[in-house]
A and B are shown apart, each in its own frame.
Chain A
Amino acid sequence: MKKTLSVLLSLALVVTMAAGCSGGTTTSSEDSDVIKIGVFEPLTGANAAGGELEVEGVELANQLRPEVLGKKVELVIADNKSDKAEATTAAARLIEKDKVVAILGSWGSSLSIAAGDVVKTNQIPAVALSATNPQVTAGNDYYFRVCFLDPFQGTVMANYAYKNLNAKKVAIIQEVSNDYSVGLAKFFTDSFTKLTGDPSSIVATGNYNTGDQDFNGILTNIKAANPDVIFAPGNFTESALIIKQARALGITAPFIGGDTWETNEFITVGGADVEGAVMSTFFDDTNPLTEAGKTFVAEYKKAYPDRDNIAAVTALGYDGYMMTLDAIERAGSADPVAIRDALAATKDFEGATGMITIDENGDASKNEAIIKTVKNGIFTYMDSVTID
């Protein structure tokens, strides 16, 4: 019995080893008749729901435009497990093992920043989809992005709090282990204190870690500070739990946040308590501004007829893929450095989320944000804001 078991076990080992090796012989996709593009997203862990939405957008774009330069485009999806250490490994694997010529992703600035050095050293261009922290592209010629940046988003939400909600006192709850959340909270603080002219108008700050579930401690402090509005940029699950626990503690102040809230899990976990929560995001599916946007919405509804609305990050996934293919076409080759140069020269590319021109930092110069709120359990368009 024991012997058979050990034979079986060693067999299993050999089989897995063989499976592991089979992918190792891939040649560089430059010369072959497929072009490989890596998709670098959190598909498990705390950010999984966000990653999945972006992959949907990338895959939809891939179905609509499966070829470039007469070659088939193959997507290689790598899970970075919502973990900064895993993110580096996942990006390295895409480059070294799968020989991708470009990378799309990731949802989450921290994860993109973690992969920054890998793409830079290996000279493989990467297009961040919804990573809004300035550090993603700063000092990195190989990282680009199709979304707006946090200094802009922070200003949008500070204006919203000050002008639309007449807030004089704001409390901030940030996810300290997340560069996106800390950065956005800082930019919001800068803008808001400038608007009020009063540095003490941020009356309380609460910190938590990704994966925390109990926020009663920080919320009790915040309740004592009695803010008019609570700004809580951070991951969707934690944010939904924060709002739920705040309501249970009797906090009635409105909650506002950033683009990461726009996932279905925010609503399923938060339930009735997240009704009225307001966030800034990239795209309004009920009113696409470009022809590409209309095509995207129509195709998405064909592919997913049962969805109530389309997440903005899905549109960004679509744009990231289309913009990269446009760059490969303009470069006329699948050489990563040529693709990089073409990406950097992107001008007036018509994306689903608006016109994209890449500036000298590798960022999309965008000056419009969409404000959405949760209404009857659906993310609903409220306003669009332009800041010059």
Chain B
Amino acid sequence: MVVGMTMETFLQQLINGLSVGSLYALIAIGYTMVYGILRLINFAHGDIFMMAAYFTYFGIAVFVIPWYITFIITIGLTMLLGVTIERVAYRPLRDAPKTSLLISAIGVSFLLENVATYLFSGKPQAFPEFPLMTTPFFIGGLSFQPVSIVIPIVAFVLMSALLYIINKTKIGMAMRAVAVDYDTAKLMGIKINGVISSTFAIGSALAAVGAILWCMKYPSVLPLMGVVPGLKCFIAAVIGGIGNVKGAVLGGLILGFSEVLMVAFFPALTGYRDAIAFVILIIILLFLPNGLLGKKYMEKV
């Protein structure tokens, strides 16, 4: 059943795709940064995202802290969480085989999901409303939610800031050095632990921003809400070339647009929406095993 598509519907779908894609991009950056430095797929990233959503929910809805302060607290707590996870679950295994690290990451992911279910119950919580961000305005027949425009802008600004940090600052240089050669970097006197901690801090902060924006757009908070976005953003990072920040953003956008456009052009297939991510992943990996922007020995942060 293909609905005849008008220009209006098509443009609306593009708007939908842009905002979903930018959200994926923000979360994908966290995966890609950690991978770039540690060669570790941080499976707990989706759950860090979930915890950030709960922090915001508790700050605003339960403790009635003003939203701007809550956002700062959320970002701070999420960074702390990310750094703590690295300190407790990954650092002791740094010299162990990569598989052990991976298993540890999966363990942390399950731990966070179950702790959240235990503490916050399995029932969905309603995320506070932000009328300023969600009240739509209409241009022609097109509906725009301010948040859908804010998301890509935030994603772009944060990506640029991150690229600046990586390419122009001292800590960024250290990150790149660690990414290229861990042992040599250590010999050169780079404080590895500090570099890795800051990588986790930055990645988690981006997950927190992603969670806040995600919940403004989709206002329900659940213990398992990080699983599917986590998986998709991981795919986005791989599509773009894992280890590459621009690649993660590109992968996120590609994924967002293809999902929405598939829904637009093949409404009968919408139930397979989640599968499209994997189909794209397989196709891209068949032809470009390093992803779209991934180059073997360059720019791996």
Interface residues, chain A, CB within 8 Å of chain B? 42-46, 48-49, 52, 82, 176-177, 204-209, 211-214, 216-218, 220-221, 223-225, 237, 240-241, 244, 248-250, 265, 268-269, 271
B9 touches A223 (CB 8 A): yes
Judged by a CB distance under 8 angstroms, whether B5 is at the interface is yes
In the bound complex, what is the Cα–Cα distance between A249 and B126 (angstroms)? Answer: 20
Q: Is there contact, CB below 8 Å, between A217 and B123?
A: no
Complex formed: what's the CA distance from A149 to B18 in Å? 42
Q: How far is the CA of A82 from the CA of B223 in the complex (A)?
A: 13
Are the CB atoms of B220 and A220 closer together than 8 Å?
no
Q: What residues of chain B lie closer than 8 Å to A46, measured between beta carbons?
A: 222, 224
Contact A44 B223 (CB under 8 A): yes
22 contacts between A and B (CB under 8 A): A46-B222, A46-B224, A48-B121, A48-B122, A52-B123, A204-B1, A204-B267, A209-B271, A211-B227, A212-B273, A213-B218, A216-B16, A216-B20, A217-B16, A223-B12, A224-B8, A224-B9, A240-B220, A248-B134, A249-B136, A265-B124, A265-B220
User: Which residue of the partner chain, among A204, A221, A250, contacts B264 with CB atoms under 8 Å?
Assistant: A221
Q: Which of B20, B141, B218 has the most CB of A within 10 A?
A: B218
Residues of B within 8 A of A (CB): 1, 3-6, 8-9, 12-13, 16, 20, 117, 121-126, 129, 134, 136, 138, 141, 143, 145, 214, 217-220, 222-225, 227-228, 259-260, 263-264, 267-268, 270-271, 273-274
Q: Which of chain A's residues have a CB closer than 8 A to the CB of B219? A: 241, 244, 269, 271
A265 is contacted by which of B20, B123, B223, B271 (Cβ under 8 Å)?
A: B123
A244 to B130, CA, bound (A): 13
A249: chain B residues at CB < 8 Å are 12, 136, 143
Contact A224 B143, beta carbon cutoff 8 Å: no
CB contacts (< 8 Å) of B268 on chain A: these are 205, 207
* Set of chain A residues within 8 Å of B122, measured between Cβ atoms: 42-45, 48, 82
**Are A208 and B220 in contact, with the CB atoms below 8 A?**
no
CB neighbours (8 Å) of A44 from chain B are 117, 121-122, 223
Q: Of the candidates A205, A206, A217, A237, which one forms a contact with B13 in the assembled complex, judged by CB atoms under 8 Å apart? A: A217
B125 to chain A, nearest CB (A): 8
Q: Please, which residues of chain A bring their CB within 8 A of the CB of B267?
A: 204-206, 218, 221
Residues of B within 8 A of A207 (CB): 268, 270-271
Given A216-B260, A217-B260, 9 more A-B residue pairs with CB atoms under 8 Å apart are A43-B122, A46-B222, A207-B270, A220-B9, A220-B263, A224-B9, A248-B143, A265-B126, A268-B126
Chain A residue at smallest Cβ distance from B265:
A221
* The 7 A-B residue pairs with the shortest CB-CB distance in the complex, in nearest-first order: A44-B122, A217-B263, A48-B122, A207-B271, A176-B271, A213-B218, A268-B126
Asked if residues B5 and A224 are in contact (CB atoms below 8 Å), the reply is yes
Contact in complex: A248, B136 (CB < 8 Å): yes
Of B8, B117, B138, most buried by chain A (CB within 10 Å of CB) is B117
A49 to B273, CA, bound (A): 26
State how many angstroms separate the Cβ of A79 from the closest Cβ of chain B: 8
Nearest CB on A from B157, distance (A): 22
Which among A48, A211, A218, A237 is the interface contact of B263 at CB below 8 angstroms?
A218
Residues of A near B16 (CB, < 8 A) are: 214, 216-217, 220
Residues of B within 8 A of A213 (CB): 214, 218, 220, 225
A48 B141 Cβ-Cβ under 8 A: no
> B270's contact among A45, A206, A223, A224, by CB below 8 Å, is which?
A206
Q: Tell whether A237 pairs with B260 under 8 Å between CB atoms, given A220-B12, A265-B124.
A: no
**Known contacts A44-B117, A206-B267, A207-B271: A221-B9 contact under CB 8 Å:** yes
Instruction: Kindly list chain A residues whose C-beta atoms are within 8 Å of the C-beta of B124.
Output: 49, 237, 265, 269
